[in-house]
Amino acid sequence: MKHNKYADGKLQNIEFSDKNSNKSVWVIEVGKYNFTTEYEETIQCLTWLITINNINYTPGQKVTIAKNKEFTIVAKETSSYLCLYK
């Protein structure tokens, strides 16, 4: 398990693995954040609402983003999500 901080601590995650895949749980403060994927990522909103590439996701909803693609996450309230990496 590994803890990471980004954007002056406004983005934090805990990375972990199980027998199926690598994962991370993210907590993000209010703001707009740009990412580029190194792997295919499936993002599942856990709390509140996150906007990914101008589409809103509520708890339980998922989106998959292809490897080497740019995307933007916007949080209007402190939110969390699970990310599965392939």
DSSP 5: E
How does residue 60 score in pLDDT terms, banded at 50, 70 and 90? very high
How does residue 20 score in pLDDT terms, banded at 50, 70 and 90? confident
Give backbone dihedrals phi and psi of 14, rounded to 5 degrees, phi first: -120, 120
DSSP 49: -
What average pLDDT does range 36-49 have in this prediction?
96
Comparison of pLDDT for 28 and 18, the residue scoring more: 28
User: Which residue pairs from 17-22 have beta carbons closer than 8 angstroms and sit at least 24 positions apart in sequence?
Assistant: 21/84, 21/85, 21/86, 22/84, 22/85
Give backbone dihedrals phi and psi of 7, rounded to 5 degrees, phi first: 50, 55
Identify the structural domains of the chain with CATH numbers, from first to last.
2-85 (2.60.120.10)
